[in-house]
Structure 1
Amino acid sequence: MFLTFIRRNDSAAAWLRLLVLASLSCVLLLADDFIQQRFSPNNRAELEAGWVAGLWVFCLALWLCNLRGLVVAILAVFAGMQLLQLANISFFGEPLSAIDIRSLLREPGEVGQTAWHSLGAHWHAAFSVLLPYSLLIALHWQVPSRVTLPASRWALVLIALVLLAKPYRATYRNLDSFTPGPTRSGLHNSLNAYSAWAVRLALRSEPSLPPAPFAPYRLSAIPSTAKHVWLVVADSLRSERMGVYGYSRQTTPKLQAYLREHPSAVVRPGVSAGVATDVSLPYLLNPIREPGQDHLLREGQVNLFRLARQAGLRTHWISSQESRLLAHLGSRYLDVSITREDHPLRFLERQDHALLEILDRQRFAERNFVVLNLRTAHLPYAQNYVHQGGKVPWPDQGAQAQGNAYDNSIHYLDGLLEELIARFDQLDGERYLVITGDHGQRLGENGQWGHNDLVPEVSDVPMIVISRDAPQQALEALKRERWISHYEIGKWLAARLGTRIDNPNLRANEHFVHGKLLFSDNFIQPVCETPAGLVHLPPMQLSQWLGKARLQGCGS
């Protein structure tokens, strides 16, 4: 009986050691981001509960498999990925993407030379990786030979599932599904980026695009007295389904009542820059009109957060969606960045209303640029308002369930906007509030739902501009427009933030809608303003459009 007790006690101690080692390993795998943050503000990684839990289980499996050679090889690969990841973050200010990996590997000599000459300024990237990974590899190499630990070959199945899950996902999802999130763990971004590169890019040659035949934009500082500039972007918001635009259902009664009391507001139909959030948001917050100018997205020359910070405004991004949407939005110019991952339970319980609670806790500076990103009308529509309970305006069950649910979500947004506008009205000084959507939505036309398609319903977004204590001329240009595109409102916002953008390539009454991909031979659609309305030209690939030197477009 005594020997049985001892054996049981030894077994319990072995499992306790295993749990401690798994926890320590998890901390070390997360440590590189937080070490680098002591040296560079470019690393904006935050702890996300779901990722930490998954990583801990993976660490447990690494110890359980009892194959230290395999484990050390996996950790060495992770360390190599993280060296490039943190170096890229330090040098460029953004996480590494699959396309960045392809570019780095195509020019190893130039990359190596740049890395060597930049080592003095960015040495901390290597230190941040080598310190925790050296300790972790030493633990796995030394501990199993010195202490007794539980072991199971079934752990290999879990390790294989974890390592192969993302490459398998890359076989059926496009590159935009693996866009890195600036506030995600570096290792999380690395697994996404390298998986997408290995499956989608490593063994495939993508044709090079013809050079974009455009003159550079000219930026000039102009006087700005705006105290508060707010931009509200609601997901999948189609103007045709809003009562304020003449829809037969009263989906926006509160907004309509407010606008009747404030006739100075500008209410126009809009044209989105893209058919997917991953595309339209970057083009909205980097006002770029002509397709094929990827360098402007990467360099952030016209980024609104950058322009705001240069003018002395405090910059805020508050989103009820994932942090990965921050890619190419200028996250390195943000003073405040809050996403769904920062408050997962609160957003799960309160959905977009959680954003109001977070907004109320912000400490605004004297001047602020605030972007609020809502999920309101995203599929599944009913999920966005179900937390409120009670009776909905239109039944979301039965044959018309999906269309009714979309209208209910707009009705829910109407109440949310009422509360947002009330907070905006309480501010002091010259201020501006823009309400728009990232893209529109197909709502049963020809049996089709959702977005991602270059059709008029998906590029249809609202454009509502409210001002307070503002000079009359600030809105004059917008009031002359019949439609306002994402590019036009972005350029107008830049002026409110103190920068005039002069575009020598501008063609009157011509807009562009981008397909669902970013940084690729994307499909684009020219949209022309005519006296009879908008004319959507047939979509064509970017390479074809550039190759024809813009022969197909409005006025051609």
Structure 2
Amino acid sequence: MQFLTPKAKINIKIFLKYLILAALSSLLMQSDDYIQKLFTEANQATFELKFTLSLLGFHLLLWLAGNRTLALTVISLFAVMQFIQLLHISYLGRPLDPTTITSSLKETGDISSAVQGTLTEHLHIILAVVIPFLINFYLFWRFLPNRLNKWLTTFCYLGIFLILASKPYRATYRDLNFFLPSPTRPSLYNSLDTFSFLLVKGFPDIEDVMPKAEIPKPILSKIESNAHTVWLIIADSIRADHMQIFGYERETTPNLVKWQSKGLTAHKGIAAAVATAASIPLMMNVIQDPGNLLQLKSEETNLFKLAKEAGFKTTWLSSQGSRVLNDLGVRHIDTLIGQEDALIRFEQKRDQAIIEFIDEQNLQGKNFVVILLRGAHAPYKINYDPNRKEFAKWNDDDELDRIIEGKNSYDNSILFTDSVLDQILERIYSLEGENHVVITADHGQLLGEDNLWGHNILRKEVAIVPLLSASWNAPNGTKLADSVENTYWISHFEMSRWLAARLGTDIELQQYDTNRTFLQGKNLYGINQYLEVDMTDEIEINLSEPFITPNYVPYLIEKTQ
């Protein structure tokens, strides 16, 4: 430090002082989650380094701006948001989202009396929110400096404005689905999403997008099941017609083909929706009817919930981010591992890291395991880049025509996924007892057909997905093929019903038709388009014209006496 002038030394000391105070402030602002965790398991938030560093930078700007009124106003607003958020988590067991606020405003009397009736269960919020934020309030009140420098203050004001405006700005061009909370994200992150959406878009009313006709409720019956483990493996964005096991000319799934000799059966499946954030909640809650948000929110048919009721240990392993966890029933999951929990490991090994996490689990006793792989998600090359020598079988040079390069790199990523699935199946096959597994994709993928790419489009290429299943050491009548009449086309709804049965619950729908299902759009919370899918033909599916969810009228099957 000898080369520094006395003035520079003082400036560094001042900066370090406020950097330490900023670190303390940012940690205090996240401490509410960890305090609440001491009192309830409903709070599923996990530490996120990236968000913590963002908070640190924001608080440093607040400290260096030297404006006590601004700092205390921001802290007060955050405290109010967090008090509402944590009260909601404590009472309902899940993070607050914009649609919940809308419905709560209509039921303030009932909610108030219900909270008062269970007041002692929520008193921990005083510790979780009030105390940390009061300490933060005091720190800014006592130690905030006067303006250090006119230009520094101007820079800090600009930075604070840009950070606070970033989420509301996103709300001007993104829909509600982007702002739905992830149960494992810090609750402050979810609060900023929710209240930013409300600030810009107002209060959404899910009643406006729900079907005009009442959807009959499912009938649940407990049935006997001796399953030891039940597995659902979802590989993102894989379409059946690019898999060797379904007759594709390229050898993209050599390992899965070999597993057919050990009982793996292949069926073409129909995806529940065209986007991950819609398809997986529909699968995990065994929902077929478009716009059926009441069943989704009730968790009555949630697979994790049904598994817990039947004595299964529940596990979620994912190489993707936590945003996909919304509406999956996270509070019913015992072990939850996602991309944020091992960023470096997933960055280095991609889906291969999932194998390591499986080996780290205790699979003794009854287990229900759901795995979400990156699969063939775009950009395709990134999925197999760490293992290019083994899986870059088809030329993926960027100089190639886009359609040729896209097809080749897509097929390479399926070849890599085939290897990962092979390793997972080996582990399931070696387990003792009755074991069931189903492998599918959340949706298909467009690869340049009619110059279209991606998957958020209601098209046949997005609708048709692989559906592979196996049941080992299992009695007759328990295999997937034994549970449905139409075994060539199997919808995600039928697949989920089969999983529920293996978990000990039969789910019956009055309006169920084995030759008919729906492909829904990407917006579960909004004006969502959907197609009716006719599966009566064994070769091709027939898709209807698009409808929107409010106009959905359930087709009730007349049962013969």
**TM-score, length basis structure 1:** 0.94
- CA distance 1:33–1:257, shift in 2 (3 Å): same
Q: Give secondary structure in 2 for the equivalent of 1:26.
A: helix
Counterpart contact for 1:14–1:149, Cα < 8 Å: no
From the superposition, tell whether residues 457 and 477 of structure 1 become closer, same or farther in structure 2 (CA, over 3 Å).
Answer: same
Task: Tell me which residue corresponds to 2:72.
Answer: 72
CA distance, structure 2, for counterparts of residue 184 and residue 430 of structure 1: 35
Checking the alignment, whether the CA contact within 8 Å between 2:212 and 2:550 is kept in structure 1 is no
Letter in 2 for 1:101: I
Distance (Å, rounded) in 1 between the aligned partners of 2:545 and 2:206: 27
Structure 1: how far apart are the matches of 2:208 and 2:442? 29
Check whether the contact 1:99–1:197 (CA below 8 A) recurs between aligned residues: no
CA distance in structure 1 between the aligned counterparts of 2:415 and 2:194, rounded to whole angstroms: 38
Alignment of 1:91-490 (within 5 A): 91-144=91-144, 152-202=153-203, 207=208, 209-259=210-260, 261-262=261-262, 264-390=263-389, 392-397=392-397, 398-399=400-401, 400-475=404-479, 476-478=482-484, 481-490=487-496
Query: What is the aligned-residue identity percentage?
Result: 38
Worse overlay, 8-17 or 526-535 = 8-17
Determine if contact 1:314/1:365 at 8 Å carries over to the other structure: no
For 1:9-31, what per-residue CA distance to the aligned partner results, in whole angstroms no more than 9, with x for missing partners?
43333222111101101110110
Q: How far has the Cα of 1:113 moved from its partner?
A: 3.7
**What's the CA shift string for 1:398-455, capped at 9, x where partnerless?**
1111111111111111111111111111211100111000011111110101101111
Is the contact between residue 14 and residue 148 of structure 1 (CA under 8 Å) also seen in structure 2? no
Give the C-alpha shift of residue 7 in structure 1. Answer: 4.5
Task: State the Cα distance separating 1:106 from its structure 2 match.
Answer: 4.2
Match of 1:103, as an amino acid? Answer: S
User: What is the deviation of 1:158?
Assistant: 1.1
1:146 Cα shift? 9.8
Structure 1 window deviating more from structure 2 (478-487 vs 495-504): it is 478-487
Contact residue 66 and residue 145 of structure 2 kept, 8 A: no
Q: Say whether the 8 Å CA contact 2:269–2:466 is kept in structure 1.
A: yes
Q: Which residue of 1 aligns with 2:89?
A: 89
Check the 8 A contact 2:322/2:339 in 1, yes or no.
yes
Gaps of 5+ in 1: none
- The secondary structure found in structure 1 opposite 2:510 is coil
Q: Distance in 2 between matches of 1:326 and 1:312?
A: 22
Q: Could you say if the C-alpha distance between residues 491 and 196 of structure 1 is closer, same or farther in structure 2, counting changes exceeding 3 Å?
A: same
* TM value normalised by structure 2: 0.93
Corresponding residue of 1:543: 550
Aligned residue-pair number:
546
Offset at residue 480 of structure 1 (A):
5.1
1:461 Cα deviation after fit: 0.7
CA spacing shift, 1:168–1:147, aligned 2, 3 Å? closer
State the secondary structure of the residue aligned to 1:530. coil
Q: Could you tell me whether the CA contact under 8 Å between 1:224 and 1:497 is conserved in 2?
A: yes
Structure 2 portions without partners, runs of 5+:
none
Name the Cα RMSD after superposition.
Answer: 2.3
* Distance apart, 1:153 and its partner CA: 2.8
Change (3 A) 1:176 1:136: same
Q: In the aligned structure 1, how far is the partner of 2:485 from the partner of 2:264?
A: 9
From the superposition, tell whether residues 206 and 73 of structure 1 become closer, same or farther in structure 2 (CA, over 3 Å).
farther
In structure 1, C-alpha distance between the alignment counterparts of 2:443 and 2:532, rounded to whole Å: 16
Superposed displacement of residue 212, structure 1: 3.8
Counterpart of 2:512 (choices 503, 506, 513) is: 506
Residue deviations 1:94-150, cap 9 Å, x none?
111122223233444444444333322222234311111111011111112699999
Give the superposition deviation at 1:316: 0.1
Deviation string, structure 1 residues 149-178 (Cα, Å, up to 9, x no partner)? 996331111111111111111111111112
Structure 1 counterpart of 2:438, which letter?
A: V
Q: Tell me, in whole angstroms, the C-alpha distance in 2 between the residues paired with 1:428 and 1:207.
A: 50
- Structure 1 residues 255-287: Cα deviation after superposition (integer angstroms, max 9, x where no partner): 11221x22x332100001100001000010110
Q: Distance in 2 between matches of 1:401 and 1:531?
A: 33
Q: Which moved more, 1:503-512 or 1:211-220?
A: 211-220
Contact 1:266 1:478 in 2 (8 A): no
